[in-house]
Structure 1
Amino acid sequence: MQIDHYVSQLLDVLSTRPDEIALRHGDEALTSAELAAAITGAAAALRDRGTGEGGVVALLTVGNSPATLIGRYAANLIGATVVHLRGINAADPLDELPIATQVEIVDDTGTTVLLTDAANLDRARKIRDAMAEPAALAAFGDFGDDVADITGTAGEVEPRAEGTAVLTYTSGTTGRPKGIGRGFGGLGAVVTKARHMTERCTMLVTTPLSHSVSSTVDDAVASGGMIVLHEGFDAGAVLEAVERHRVNRVYLATPQLYDLLDHPALGTTDHSSLRELYYGGSPASPVRLSRAAEVFGAKLIQIYGTTESWVIAALSPEEHLKPELLTTVGKAVPFVQVGIRDPHVRHELPAGKTGEICVRSPMMMDGYWKRPDLTSRVLIDGWLHTGDVGYLDENGYLYLVDRLADMIKTNGIKVYPAEVENALLAHPDVAQAAVFGVADEDNVEYMHAIAVPRRGRDVDPADLAAQVARVLSPSHVPAEIRLRAELPLTDAGKPDKLRLREEAKPATKSSHAKPESELTS
């Protein structure tokens, strides 16, 4: 089936409600007509300056700003590839890469236009000056003779949709970010499906527009709805915005859902407008989900996916009301095939057998940018090997066990940290938890745990050790349990276990340590 250009479809939707607000950012509000004019005007300006198919436009703008959204739509409309340059953080739009890494990315991608804004102009000039082949600078506004103003008026632009639409960079195991390319077809399929929605969506966005939330934003625009952009997550601000704008869709990282549940204003905020509360990015605690279902009812939607795959599976609002399903990540979404394979011989495994989760989907990446070596390791015979461990039950529900690389061999058994984390999170006074392995000077691996107490609660690590022993077994009790005021997070919004592991190394001993009751920040 031929799918129309995704931006053309969005422009068609915007034309049906020209005078209604389509985008809010702080005190700024754009009507559908104004948003459409900004997109087509910028597209025409980029085209007239020689950008189009084969061109690469890097976005160095305030993470969750109109310029970021309009810039992607405009560049993609004329067939240019968009590179999100600001950061690789999937949970925090305020996080930013070092200039040296940004220079490496624009050189690697052959960036022809660097689209920036007032807040990032000085940095953009430094990046341009350091490039092997300097890109042209562009912005929405007059910022000097060396910066092209692409603010324009609505005009005719011929849509182009060949090659890679978006390059999103993610962290690599070597420290060098990897570019994940995604074609126009997958973006078009999302918008085509969303245009048949019967209800308009008012969506609050707090996670970066550069990552997975972008497709959900396209989906919301395609419904004829409104986007409310926040430059980062604050639980109180989220609750206030939901009440003020009658927000009916939110997407949060799993730890942010916990923060929302624990916020003191939750009980006095009118969140009755919410229809869809998406969350994902890391495994969720069944105990915390049960509490969330009590508070929000049939509105929770768990999304499981990776940057390489986008969405793989989802647990529906109704399924959140069935306690026995809260240990799953739901079923594969339409158009996605899920298979469980032996990570060594790559044979398909039957229901109930644990192996590597593999997917085949029109939304998955085309490959890692200019890294055929890495691409060939994960894209095999049309299947994307995620590196996640899990199994399917006989009803098609997917159970996420952990990452292949995170499995710990300790006390004579193989332990997946997620199961110990869930045991810790089942304690009523624990808000968050992270479990990881640390090798001592003899290369013997021990299990460590960090627990974050809920607000105003006191937790005894010895009680947590007893909790794990009771829920799992004494062999699953971490060698050391520490308390912290908060967990450091990775670019993906998950607990930064690499950092925690490095911090724990100096204190690691060859003997099995006792849980500690030290609260650190």
Structure 2
Amino acid sequence: MSPTDNYVRRVLEALSADPERVALLREDERFTAGEFTRTVAAAAEFLRRQIVEDEIPVVAVLTVANTPATIILRYAANLIGATVVHLHSTNAVDPTDQLATRERYEILKRTGATFLAVDEENLGLARELCERLPEPPRLAALGSFGPDVLDLTTGDADAVDLKVMETDPERPAVVLFTSGTSGTPKGVTLPFRVRTLYLRAGLDAPGPITYLSTLPVSHSNGSGADLALASGGTVVLHNGFDASAVLGAVERHRVSALTLTPPQLYMLVDHPAIKDTDLSSIQIISYGGCPASPARLAEAVEVFGPVLLQFYGTTETSGISVLAPPDHFDPELRMTAGRLTAEVRVRDQDDDRDLPVGEIGEICVRSPFNMLGYWREPELTAESVRDGWVYTGDLGSLDERGYVRLHGRVGEVMKTNGIKVHPTAVENALLTHPDVAQAAVYGVADGDRVEHIHAAVVLRPGGAADFAALLGHVAGELSPQHVPAAITFHDDLPLTGAGKPDKQRLAAERTGA
């Protein structure tokens, strides 16, 4: 692929090899490769006719997240070089989670959207948003929804010549809004360059991929769908993660690839139906979003075999390291987040110097996959991107072989009992106990501002470990200085939009804040 090659063009060309194959499948809704290609081309041609010369349009997409419309609308906009903004949610894990109307309004204002592409379920909300905006975008949809809505299906698919569809690789392709610590969503702006680089793996696939998507395709998981379609394969869309439904879909559709968070991987391993499910079609299970437990990965390897691929990255940098399937059989490597795939420096937070192998500091990344910046927020961008390096806020260390270990976030390190305690170390210790399924460790300050280690755990079905048993276990695995001052037991851990345990919420519940 050339740098100016449009990734959507390459996907549509790949699908044309087998136009009768099902490309998208969701419940009773399905598109063959031929139908999908013509729908994208028609919508792209219609949008192109609406654009003023030299205008770079912004197409905001407000649809139910894991539906064919979400993918079709992104492809149609990106095919003509437009920038796509997803308005559904900042949640990269749960497609049912939704932004408040006020946040959607603010994002529309900030991005200056030219078009607002919607589905029938969100049409009323889209009209309400347009009425409130001083310069509203034009409404568009894949169908006839009224005189105020452009029907993108009426475009002329035959008028689109895929062979000439090229795009400036540095032009913004998509703006992914993520939940920020300030409460204001941050618009991570990814160029066409990143989409093109990602697609190469799908184009080189030895055969069609059947990809099960439970994470929102409106966020980073959309790249997984792109890879499957580029292989000439099929994307099976689920509206969220349900372990029973996932196992059923794997067997029914002969799923070869899926992407999960570590907690979701654990839920599959623990599910009683796993023993009776035909898993032979699975070629790769990618997982990431938060650090994984080495002990639980050992169990997952026993269940699934050599198909696990840990992916460590951020929305701002994409991939940073990968723990390949063979690495999962090495107990030492299971304690890492894999071998580096990007240029990384580990910096001292006090003097910004590069730290040697084995020392813990902030992970900084320089890579062709890095974002352009935060959408129209130069000051926020300057805080995170310095001299081409993205400062991730993740704490990590490197070993001599180029493998990275994660030690939590910059703001999560606790100083208690006279030592610095990294939450990830205590979480991993808890997860080696046979009764513990999930764990989150965080700091809570008392009235004298003394920080104490707190833990929240989910026990396995039938697990009987109590506070005293877990304290003794952590002391034996690490040291008495790492023992939590308090442990709470939960049926489920609250999660952030990135699928990580919501430690701020857990701490607030303990303090009453």
Q: Same fold (TM over 0.5)?
A: yes
| Shift in Å, 1:154 | 1.9
Equivalence for 2:65: 63
Q: Measure the CA separation in 2 of the matches of 1:506 and 1:88.
A: 26
Equivalence for 1:143: 145
| Shift in Å, 1:116 | 0.7
Where in structure 1 are there 5+ consecutive unaligned residues? 508-521
Tell me the alpha carbon deviations over residues 140-191 of structure 1, each in whole angstroms, 9 at most, x when there is no partner: 1111111111114522336352420000001111110000001001111222
Tell me the alpha carbon deviations over residues 446-494 of structure 1, each in whole angstroms, 9 at most, x when there is no partner: 1111111112322211111111111011111111111011101001011
Q: Measure the CA separation in 2 of the matches of 1:6 and 1:53.
A: 21
CA contact (8 A) 1:297 1:321 kept: no
Where in structure 2 are there 5+ consecutive unaligned residues? none
Q: Measure the CA separation in 1 of the matches of 2:248 and 2:492.
A: 23
User: With structure 1 as the length reference, what TM-score do the two structures score?
Assistant: 0.95
Q: Measure the CA separation in 2 of the matches of 1:424 and 1:474.
A: 13
Does the alignment pair 1:274 with 2:278?
A: no
Equivalence for 2:189: 181
Q: Measure the CA separation in 2 of the matches of 1:140 and 1:475.
A: 60
Does the alignment pair 1:400 with 2:383?
A: no
Q: Measure the CA separation in 2 of the matches of 1:397 and 1:125.
A: 50
What's the secondary structure of 1:452's corresponding residue? Answer: strand
Equivalence for 1:14: 15
Q: Measure the CA separation in 2 of the matches of 1:429 and 1:2.
A: 51
Q: Which amino acid aligns with 2:177?
A: Y
Equivalence for 1:226: 234
Q: Which amino acid aligns with 2:130?
A: R
Deviant stretches of 4+, over 3 Å: none
Q: Measure the CA separation in 2 of the matches of 1:396 and 1:408.
A: 27
Map 1:306-321; keep pairs closer than 5 Å.
Answer: 306-321=314-329
What's the secondary structure of 1:125's corresponding residue? Answer: helix
| Shift in Å, 1:345 | 2.3
What's the secondary structure of 1:265's corresponding residue? Answer: helix
Does the alignment pair 1:94 with 2:127?
A: no
Equivalence for 1:484: 490
Equivalence for 1:172: 180
Does the alignment pair 1:78 with 2:86?
A: no
Q: Measure the CA separation in 2 of the matches of 1:131 and 1:271.
A: 50
| Shift in Å, 1:17 | 1.2
Equivalence for 2:202: 194
Q: Which amino acid aligns with 2:473?
A: Q
| Shift in Å, 1:373 | 1.0
Indicate the percent of aligned positions where both proteins have the same amino acid.
51
Q: Which amino acid aligns with 1:19?
A: E
Does the alignment pair 1:155 with 2:149?
A: no
Is 219-228 or 73-82 further displaced after alignment?
219-228
| Shift in Å, 1:382 | 1.0
| Shift in Å, 1:438 | 1.1
Equivalence for 1:242: 250
Equivalence for 2:510: 504
What's the secondary structure of 1:168's corresponding residue? Answer: strand
| Shift in Å, 1:217 | 1.6
Does the alignment pair 1:105 with 2:107?
A: yes
| Shift in Å, 1:338 | 1.8
Q: Which amino acid aligns with 1:351?
A: V
CA contact (8 A) 2:291 2:424 kept: yes
CA contact (8 A) 1:305 1:311 kept: yes
| Shift in Å, 1:193 | 4.0
Tell me the alpha carbon deviations over residues 249-272 of structure 1, each in whole angstroms, 9 at most, x when there is no partner: 010011111111111111111011
RMSD: 1.4
Equivalence for 2:296: 288
Is 14-23 or 35-44 further displaced after alignment?
14-23
Query: Are residues 455 and 132 of structure 1, via their aligned partners in 2, closer, same or farther at CA, if it must alter by over 3 Å?
Result: farther
Q: Measure the CA separation in 2 of the matches of 1:96 and 1:132.
A: 24
Q: Paired residue for 1:494, among 490, 497, 500?
A: 500
Is 72-81 or 218-227 further displaced after alignment?
218-227
Equivalence for 2:120: 118
Q: Measure the CA separation in 2 of the matches of 1:53 and 1:208.
A: 29
| Shift in Å, 1:3 | 4.2
CA contact (8 A) 2:337 2:405 kept: yes
Q: Measure the CA separation in 2 of the matches of 1:177 and 1:307.
A: 13
Equivalence for 1:364: 370
Q: Measure the CA separation in 1 of the matches of 2:295 and 2:159.
A: 54
CA contact (8 A) 2:443 2:507 kept: yes
CA contact (8 A) 1:107 1:132 kept: no
Equivalence for 2:457: 451
CA contact (8 A) 2:118 2:141 kept: yes
Equivalence for 1:387: 393
| Shift in Å, 1:276 | 0.1
Q: Paired residue for 1:260, among 262, 265, 268?
A: 268
Equivalence for 1:44: 45
| Shift in Å, 1:132 | 2.8
Equivalence for 1:217: 225
Tell me the alpha carbon deviations over residues 392-424 of structure 1, each in whole angstroms, 9 at most, x when there is no partner: 110111111111111011111111111111111
Q: Measure the CA separation in 1 of the matches of 2:3 and 2:183.
A: 39
CA contact (8 A) 2:4 2:167 kept: no
Equivalence for 1:432: 438
Is 382-391 or 184-193 further displaced after alignment?
184-193
Q: Which amino acid aligns with 1:156?
A: A
Tell me the number of residue pairs that the alignment of Structure 1 and Structure 2 aligns. Answer: 505
Query: Are residues 113 and 311 of structure 1, via their aligned partners in 2, closer, same or farther at CA, if it must alter by over 3 Å?
Result: same
Q: Measure the CA separation in 2 of the matches of 1:68 and 1:148.
A: 17
| Shift in Å, 1:192 | 3.1
| Shift in Å, 1:199 | 2.6
CA contact (8 A) 2:15 2:233 kept: no
Is 261-270 or 189-198 further displaced after alignment?
189-198
Tell me the alpha carbon deviations over residues 342-394 of structure 1, each in whole angstroms, 9 at most, x when there is no partner: 22322222222221111111111110111111111111111111111111110
